Amino acid sequence: MRKTIVGWLITVGMLLLGSGTAPAAPAPEPVIIGNARVTALQDMPGEMPLTIFRGADLQAMQAMVPSGRAPAGVTVFLVQLSGQNMLVDTGFGANEPERRSALPELLRRVGVGMGDIGTVLLTHMHGDHIGGLVKDGAAVFSKAVIMVSEKELAFWTDPKTVKENPGLDKNVQMVKDVQKAYGDRLKTFAFNDPVAFGLTAIAATGHTPGHTMFLLLSEDSPLLFWGDLVHAAALQFANPDICATYDMNMPEAVATRRDVFAKAARERFPVAGAHLPFPAIGRVTKKDSGGEYEFTPGL
């Protein structure tokens, strides 16, 4: 569980290396999946230092990322289908005073207000995914139902979690704030449940106990939102055994990643990930040599 503690302590700082004003967010990037419109919204840019990764020696990782810092921004996805506006995760929100969240402005740029969001699907409850739910103790999304895996919520609300891992106290408090702000609008699902308008929850545990992917299927066209299956594309496609230190169960995270990579490459469906290179939607292919997999942006 030590890795869990280290993970939370470094997540915020390492994703937001540097100081000063963040660069302007890239323009929203919409794609069409069947009858659904999916728009990638980069909440914040960022990088992760190679020193937070395990599963390969530092020299090997430096050969892949000579700068020593792997690009890893935070992207949120707007899904518009059947007249509904849904979000997959919410980014950092107001919890990082040194770096302003771009999500509210990006939603305005595509004509969607906070009150227009009907459903928020959470891949998991780390701060860079739930931070946009609450501001000054109040719900940011006045009408939205918040959906999260029952296993994920159970972990973060278990008193043993913070007792055994005191470094998680900030994240645990954020979860409590979400519970208080949303009340009975915070709902849980089991893996394999249909969760909203064409989306199904799929287990992807390892990063957290209830880490979830969401499969969008519209007019037989798929898109898999895989959350934090990948933190550093420059490292983990070439070597899926590499983990960030905030994967709570590294062997399980590796097994999940390998399984999903193989399936995505074999079946050739597009994927969307919170930390993939913006616009954070693309395809996984199996390489014949020089690395196991590669990621190609775009549909």
Looking at the DSSP assignment, which residues form a beta bridge with residue 124? none
Domains and CATH numbers, the chain: 2-14+25-297 (3.60.15.10)
Distance in Å from the first CA to the final CA of the chain: 38
Is the pTM of the predicted complex or chain greater than 0.75?
yes
Question: How does pLDDT run across 179-235, given as a tens digit for each residue?
Answer: 999 999 999 999 999 999 899 999 999 999 999 999 999 999 999 999 999 999 999
Q: What is the dihedral sign for C-alpha 239, 224, 76, 119?
A: negative
- Residue 264: alpha-carbon gap to chain centroid: 18
Q: How far apart are CA 107 and CA 298, in angstroms?
A: 21
> To the nearest 5 percent, what fractions of the chain are helix, strand and coil?
35, 30, 40
Q: How far apart are CA 192 and CA 120, in angstroms?
A: 17
Predicted confidence at residue 6, as pLDDT, reads 39
Q: How far apart are CA 261 and CA 39, in angstroms?
A: 23
Q: How far apart are CA 229 and CA 241, in angstroms?
A: 12
Q: How far apart are CA 294 and CA 237, in angstroms?
A: 5
* Greatest distance between any 2 Cα atoms in the chain: 51
Residue 73 near residue 112, CB atoms below 8 Å: no
List helix spans (H) across 132-242: 150-157, 159-164, 169-182, 233-236
Predicted confidence at residue 99, as pLDDT, reads 63
- Residues across the chain: 299
Instruction: Please give the mean pLDDT across all residues of the chain.
Output: 91
Predicted confidence at residue 166, as pLDDT, reads 87
Question: How does pLDDT run across 96-132, given as a tens digit for each residue?
Answer: 666 678 899 999 999 999 999 999 999 999 999 999 9
Q: How far apart are CA 274 and CA 281, in angstroms?
A: 9
Q: Which residue has the tokens 């590796």?
A: 254
